[in-house]
Amino acid sequence: MSGELAVVGGGGGFIGGHLVKSLLDQGYKVRSVDIKPIDEWYQVHEGVENVQADLKLIDSSMEYMSDADRIYQLAADMGGMGFIELNKALCMLSVLTTTHALMAAKEGGKCKRFFFSSSACVYNADKQKCEDVIPLKEVDAYPAAAEDGYGWEKLFTERMCRHFREDFGIQTRCARFHNVYGTFGTWDGGREKAPAALTRKIIAAKLSGNHDMEVWGDGKQTRSFMYIDDCVKGINMITDSDNVLEPINLGSNELTTINGLVDILEDIAGIKMNRNYNLDAPKGVNGRNSDNDLINEYLGWEPGIKLRDGMERTYNWIYEQMTTKSGVGAS
């Protein structure tokens, strides 16, 4: 890997920032590209070529990706369920980013590995109607009935990656992320996902003494949540694998309800909340969990960080951000 250039599209984002650090630690030259101004990036690492550019534009992709030995394409407009349900067209425009990244890889002729971050939102909604969900296998994406907007963009792009591999020999790898959370992630502003949003609400309650809390949906919807360290490890293993050719699940299979997630956070915070359920708020599918048979078969590994442990790390980090940002002392 000495001297190899790894380019991370979306390197200023949550997962991208962690991945950039991992690639640096492995000895790659790293170029991190993101549309946001660099002072708004989640993490900025020394020793990295940090570039602000819009990778939806083909000229930007050609300039910053065509010389890469490895491309990790994480850049996308996305957020929690509240964001993706209300911004379907914006989410679908992300198809331009990966299209142009693949074209840059083809034109440059150097790319040995191309990683695309897909999502469990590609899965057929009919298989996610019940809270007592059967874990989703990779084959369950078809017949297709993906999450409208965001999920369809991811599913289409998976197929494009497949055909660029078959037609042009680009070694594409796709992982379907299942609810990634952790430190250095979004925790306010409208794009945050459930673990961070609930954490913020409970910390705010702890600091203010007002223990009333809104929960989107009835709290019975089920999910699995993968801590960021497992996500980055999985990206590295999947990208380097010679036998993971088709899209594969990358997620924890530790199932919980949203109420169960609140229970964990209450225990960490040492408080009890008065839960008010907003049945009109976006809540996504009723049940979703990751079947990890295939990743175990191919890699002999699956995400294993326990939800309680990951949430405690996340809670402590968000607590520090909130108290530092507001000037409120610990309580």
Residues whose CB falls within 8 Å of the CB of residue 19, separated by 6 or more in sequence, listed in order: 8, 11, 72, 74, 232, 235
Handedness of CA 263, 265, 268, 274 (dihedral sign): negative
Is residue 315 classed exposed, middle or buried when 0-12, 13-18 and 19+ CB atoms within 10 A define those classes?
Answer: buried
The single residue listed with the structure tokens 């989107």 is 216
| Token representation of residue 300 | 């002999």
Find the helix or strand (DSSP H, E) in which 226 lies: strand 226-227
Task: Give yes or no: 150 in active site.
Answer: yes
Backbone angles phi, psi at 224, to 5 degrees: -120, 150
- Choosing from 150, 227, 315, 319, the catalytic residue is 150
What are the percentages of helix, strand and coil residues in the chain, rounded to 5? 45, 20, 40
Beta bridge partners of 103: none
- What's the CA gap between 190 and 185, in Å, rounded? 12
User: Are the C-beta atoms of residues 115 and 96 closer than 8 Å to each other?
Assistant: no
User: Are the C-beta atoms of residues 118 and 174 closer than 8 Å to each other?
Assistant: yes
DSSP 126-188: GGGSSSSPPPBPGGGG-S--PPTTHHHHHHHHHHHHHHHHHHH---EEEEEE--EE-TTS--S
- Residues catalogued as catalytic: 150
